[in-house]
Amino acid sequence: ANHKIYLHNDMESLEKILAESKKKYEGEFKLIVVDAVYSMDGDIANLPEISRLAKKYSAYLMVDEAHSIGHIGETGHGIEEYFGIKNAVDIHMGTLSKAIPSIGGYIAGNKDLITYLKHNSRAFIFSASIPQVNIAVAKASFEVIEDEPWRMTQLHQRAEQFRTGLKKMGYDIGYSNTALIPIMIGDEEKTLKLAKLINDRGLFVMPIIFPAVPKNTDRLRTHVQAGHTKKDISNALDILEESGKELGILK
């Protein structure tokens, strides 16, 4: 298969590729594959526009909801709920190892697609089944999302508190509008030093450097959880501010 990469969340770039593909590969199968929530930046794919372009150029749309299920949308149902639209996505894929604390993953689509994958996907045919205990954990986790929507409300409130606090003290969090929040540093050495200072003060953060992200976009990767209290967020912000000032990253 031929594949093209469009610029990050850039709809002009995507349409240019689709238009060129329509001319060059007329009548052939076209598939747009995109993350719902971008794992290193915390921003959300422009689903309404991507869906519009998919229909315009007769392409199928596959969305990886690894970071969106149990995270975005009023009740944690992912990107379609977030934008208030239905049936925009042809193929949903996701993991059972993030908001769902188990192992494995899933594909959701129409009956013909699932039948085809069952008989033709090497990953499905030659993989062992998920252990029953992990299936039970995953099932119970989905039930929590369904039965306890207050957790999503609390998650969104705590994430907003954290993002607002970081921006107020002078940190660059990029375009994140979710609970997955990068703290952009842009220097590998400073990122590693800052991470150590913060971890030593009792707050766990992950330094992300090249090649996991492009050069000069080094960052700390943070994620708010529904179980965090307002006090937890305040304490985290205090540690981040103190550490940032010690290294001269914050004034």
Catalytically active residues are 39, 67, 98
Give yes or no for a contact between 163 and 140, defined as CB atoms under 8 angstroms apart: no
Rounded to an integer, what distance in angstroms lies between the CA atom of residue 12 and that of residue 57? 14
> Which of 89, 68, 88 lies closest to 78 in space, CA to CA?
68
The radius of gyration computed from the CA coordinates of the chain, to the nearest angstrom, equals 20
Contacts of 93 (CB under 8 A, 6+ apart): 62, 63, 64, 65, 66, 105, 106, 107, 108
Backbone φ/ψ region at 57: left (φ over 0), alpha (ψ -120 to 50), beta: alpha
Q: Which amino acid is at 161?
A: Q
